[in-house]
Copies of this chain bind each other. A is one copy, B any other.
Amino acid sequence: MSLLSPRILIVEDEPAQVEILRFNMEQAGYEVSVETDGEKGVQAALEDPPDLILLDWMLPNLSGIEACRRLRKARKTREIPIILLTARSEERDKIRGLDIGADDYVTKPYSIKELIARVRSALRRPTTRSTDGKLVVGGIEVDIETHKARFDEKTIHLGPTEFRLLVVLMQNPERVFSRSQLLDQAWGITAELDTRTVDVHIGRLRRALARAGARNVVRTIRGFGYALESVSEAAR
């Protein structure tokens, strides 16, 4: 998910509806973009994938159902939660939407409160937003889902920041990260911290790893930053 507020793409042709949706979603703290037909909606989603899509059922150019199907086919948009907006009179059709992979649907007239609740819930759903799975690099094992880190069967105890730092490094073993890049990825874009702070946390991470027996794992690249040693030179 974006580090800032989640981005929602609204695909809806009726201007009045658009305004209602836009207003409420913005109120709820989301960043909103709008497309007014199915074709453009799919295009926009492919070019710059949002975190969630609110998709009207009846659309000019490309029906909601077809748009939905296309979004599910493309890799870039496959995982994005889609909530269908359908009118009551379109009852029968709307149902079919779920079959093609919408996450949820809401019937008009809908309660804004309910819609927001569903949006929030969809964004939180772990199944959609899964970077999970285990990361294994040079004897170190990190499981994001259970939030556990181990080396050689021994649990590595890490603070929140150290954990995020380790995850970032492990997602790209061997790759060199500058201090600013690490700040971006492990702290968030908005962090305005002294880059020296990274040093300190790298130090703390190293100590935690050492306590579990993993040494020489985080490599210092003088003048550039840090990287993870993917081949365990510690196992010597």
Contact = CB atoms under 8 A, between A and B. Distances in A.
Is the interface on chain A under 10, 10 to 19, 20 to 34, or 35 or more residues? Answer: 35 or more
A109 B118 contact: yes
Interface stretch (A45-53, A65-73, A95-103, A206-214): A95-103
A225 to B, nearest CB: 9
A120 interface: yes
A120 B124 CA distance: 21
Interface in A1-46: 16, 19-20, 23-24, 27
A16 B91 CA distance: 8
A102 B153 CA distance: 41
A120 B176 contact: no
Interface stretch (A56-64, A177-185, A196-204): A177-185
Given A16-B91, A180-B124, A227-B146, A98 B112 contact: yes
Contacts of A88: 16
A103 B95 contact: no
B190 A174 contact: no
A154 interface: no
Contacts of A19: 91-92, 95
Nearest to A99: B27
A57 to B, nearest CB: 14
18 contacts: A16-B88, A19-B91, A19-B95, A23-B95, A23-B99, A24-B95, A27-B99, A98-B112, A104-B111, A104-B112, A111-B121, A121-B184, A124-B184, A126-B175, A146-B176, A146-B227, A147-B221, A147-B224
